[in-house]
């Protein structure tokens, strides 16, 4: 896992489609829900005629966390669900998650901070089950 100022990158030594399936399964095992999906590659091809490597954005939430945050601060809907980007090719895929600094530096109300940090931690935990923290090595689970 490498950490930049606003994102965490996980590398998976698997093709894009395989990694997308692995990400879906890992998120579900954390009790998380994919509320929406954006196929960036198809959208760019349709709108601009450009061809990109496979890229999908999964919008991840946990309905109870979203409800809790929205009850106490309606603006939480801007931050939950969290986007998880899965981008790669036939040999290697990267999974990108917004970094903690990008989540907490905006002066979040206390009522939103805890649910948001909880969601972020669960997303990161899910990704750690399919990729090591550093390097492009895959952790294979039975």
Instruction: Measure the N-to-C terminal CA separation of the chain; round to a whole number of Å.
Output: 22
Give the contacts of 115 (CB within 8 A, at least 6 positions apart). 65, 66, 68, 69, 76, 80
- Tens of pLDDT along the chain (142 residues) come to 544 447 888 999 999 999 999 999 999 999 999 999 999 999 999 999 999 999 999 999 988 887 877 777 777 777 888 999 999 988 899 999 988 776 666 666 676 777 788 899 999 999 999 985 544 344 333 3
- What's the rounded Cα separation, in Å, for the pair 63 and 80? 9
- What's the rounded Cα separation, in Å, for the pair 48 and 109? 39
How many residues are given for the chain?
142
Homologous superfamily (CATH) of 2-11+21-107+119-128 is TT1751-like domain (3.30.310.70)
């Amino acid at each position: 896992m490498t950490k930049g100022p606003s994102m965490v990158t996980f590398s998976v030594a698997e093709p894009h489609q395989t990694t997308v399936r692995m990400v879906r399964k890992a998120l579900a095992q954390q009790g998380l829900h994919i509320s929406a999906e954006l196929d960036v590659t198809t959208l760019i091809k349709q709108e601009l005629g450009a061809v990109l490597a496979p890229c999908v954005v999964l919008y991840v939430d946990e309905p109870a966390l979203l409800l809790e945050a929205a009850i106490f601060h309606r603006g939480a809907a801007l931050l939950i669900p969290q986007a998880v980007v899965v981008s790669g090719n036939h040999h290697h895929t990267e999974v990108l998650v917004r970094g903690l600094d990008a989540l907490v530096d905006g002066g979040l109300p206390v009522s939103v901070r805890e649910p948001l940090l909880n969601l972020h931690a669960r997303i990161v935990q899910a990704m750690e089950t399919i990729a090591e923290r550093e390097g492009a090595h895959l952790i294979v689970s039975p």
